[in-house]
Every structure is written in C-alpha cells, then in structure tokens.
Amino acid sequence: MVIPTEPVGSIPRPKELVDAVAVHAAGQMPDEEIAGLYEAAVRDTIQRFEETGSPVISDGEQSKPSFLTYPLSGVTNLAPDGVSIEFDDGHARQLPRLAEGPFAYSNYAAEYLLEAKKYASVPVKQAVIAASALSLLYPQDGVEGYSQDAFISDLVGEAAQDIRGSLDAGAHVVQMDFTEGRLAVKLDPSLGLLRTFVDLNNQVLSNFSDEERKRIGIHTCPGGDIDSTHSADVDYAELLPSLFDVNVGNFYIQLARSRPTAGAGHHRRKLSAGSADLRRRDRSDQSPGGIGGGGKTAGARGS
C-alpha cells in the first residue's frame, strides 16, 4: 500500500533572514529590504523542495510572521497579555488577547500562496491556522460590548474566508494547523475542550461542499518550539477518535518524533488567567506568538 505524503509546516529560515527579522522588528531595516530577503528565502525553499522530487510542495512558511498569528499582523484591537502556553522545557509562548470588538483578520494566507506560485513548477499546498487556535484570543471575562457568540460568528466567517481564498488562488490542498488538538486533551482530560474545538472547526468547514473538503486537511502534532513540545505526553489514542470527526478529506499526523513519556497524564497544566473558558459553550515557527508548530515534519495524507 502506498501512503501519500506531503511536506508539513515550517522550514528553518537562513541565518541571514533570522537576523534581519530582528533588525527589522527594531525599526532598523526598511520594509523593502526585508521583503527582498523573504522573497529570496521563499524562492530558495521552493527550489530545494522541487529538487527532492516531492509532487507537492510548500513555501516552508518563510515569510509568515507566525504560523498562528499571521492573520493578526497589524491588528490594533489586541493586548499582549493573552493565553500563555508552557512547553516541557519550561519556556512559554503567549498569545495576544482580544481587547475590543469586532474581530477581523488583517490579511489572509492566499497572499503567501500567490507569492509561492510565482516560483513553483509543481502543485503548492497552503497552511492556514485553525479557528480553534484563534478562539483562544477571547478572554475569560469577556469583551465589553462584544459577546463571545458575536466573536465566534466573526471568527468562523474569517477562517472560512482564509480557506476559501487559498482554494480560489489554486492551492493543491489547504492544511488547517491544529497543534492545539493534543494540548486540549492535556488541559481537559474529559475531552470537552477538544470536542469544542472540533465543533468549531466543523462550523468553518460547513461553508464548503463535499468536493471542496476533499482539498482541505487538518494537521496535528505535539506542538514543537525551540526543540521542545507542549503535549508530546498525550497519547494519540486520546485524540484521534475526535480528530477523525473533523469534516475534512485529509489528515496530517506527525508520528516520527512522538514517543511515550513516563508519567504521562499525571501533570496537566492549566491555561493561564485570561484564557477563554470555551467549554461553557458546549460546543517553531521562529517567530514569537504561537502555540507551537514550527519545524513540523512531513505528515501522512489520508483520504
């Protein structure tokens, strides 16, 4: 039996670009110069991917500010003190918090796809962030004048537009990054939070036909960041039954680096203060700002 495979996730950036991103963030490099370095990195990644003979490639997320928060670049109604995700080595990543409504994306993944397609001679896939991850932006104590129901409605619409834009731009497939899947099991062993996430992502997917969903997939992994993970101790057996309820045609499941951990399940971190209690609804990258998922490996593609 042949198991089709596709590249999944981030490819390490060249040191020149890593250094330049920090200089640009400090306001010491013009936008035009950093844009040229991003373009060169995308072009080089695509060339190297094609040299492997892979029938489907990606841009390695070279120019995304973050695999998770790319839709929020330049958004002004966010505060920096959102959900904090702890990794097994003790470091943490912190998401922004929605400070006022309404919620809207500032840009969409199709712009990265269109840039990549300029240099590719084989089909290109496009990764997007799952709505479930961005649902964590809504704070537990709410947002004045902007209900959680209104937020979820806006989020579903924006996430669907993100996928639709990439499909319309010619993506071979669109991959929803769902690194928070195993994390949800770790935070809530009753699986209530995981089911909430699955239901939310299915709300987004309800905007697409059966034929379109054949070109949509979902990716899961233990959330890698700086050579550590946030949920490698969660057994896939706890995740997969619910994961397979997501209404997509493809599943990308990282297995190569997953290994059992002694005492798994006996230490379960909680979301920090300020996180959204979504259960009440009953429903590496190299840049900061993500739950974790940079440096992801190739994943299996199921149909």
Q: What does the alpha-carbon distance between residue 100 and residue 58 come to, in Å, rounded to a whole number?
A: 35
Q: Is the pLDDT of residue 108 over 70?
A: yes
For the residues 165-183, what does the mean pLDDT come to? 95
- Tell me the pLDDT tens digit for each residue of 216-231: 999 998 887 777 788 8
The pLDDT assigned to 268 comes to 30
Q: Say which residue, 109 or 11, is predicted with more confidence.
A: 109
Check residue 142 and give left, alpha or beta (phi > 0: left; psi -120 to 50: alpha): left
The pLDDT assigned to 258 comes to 52
The pLDDT assigned to 35 comes to 93
Give the CATH number, domain containing residue 49: 3.20.20.210
The pLDDT assigned to 71 comes to 94
The pLDDT assigned to 139 comes to 95
Q: What does the alpha-carbon distance between residue 143 and residue 146 come to, in Å, rounded to a whole number?
A: 5
The pLDDT assigned to 133 comes to 95
Task: Say what percent of the chain tops pLDDT 70.
Answer: 84
Domain of 219 in residue numbering reads as 5-300
- Average pLDDT over the chain reads 83
The pLDDT assigned to 110 comes to 97
DSSP 8-class letter at 12? P
Domains in the chain: how many in total? 1
SS3 114: helix
Q: pTM of the full predicted structure?
A: 0.83
- Tell me the pLDDT tens digit for each residue of 234-283: 889 999 999 999 999 999 988 765 554 443 333 232 232 223 333 323 32
The pLDDT assigned to 272 comes to 29
For the residues 52-69, what does the mean pLDDT come to? 90
The pLDDT assigned to 277 comes to 32
The pLDDT assigned to 289 comes to 36
- Pairing mode of beta strands 5-6, 174-177: unpaired
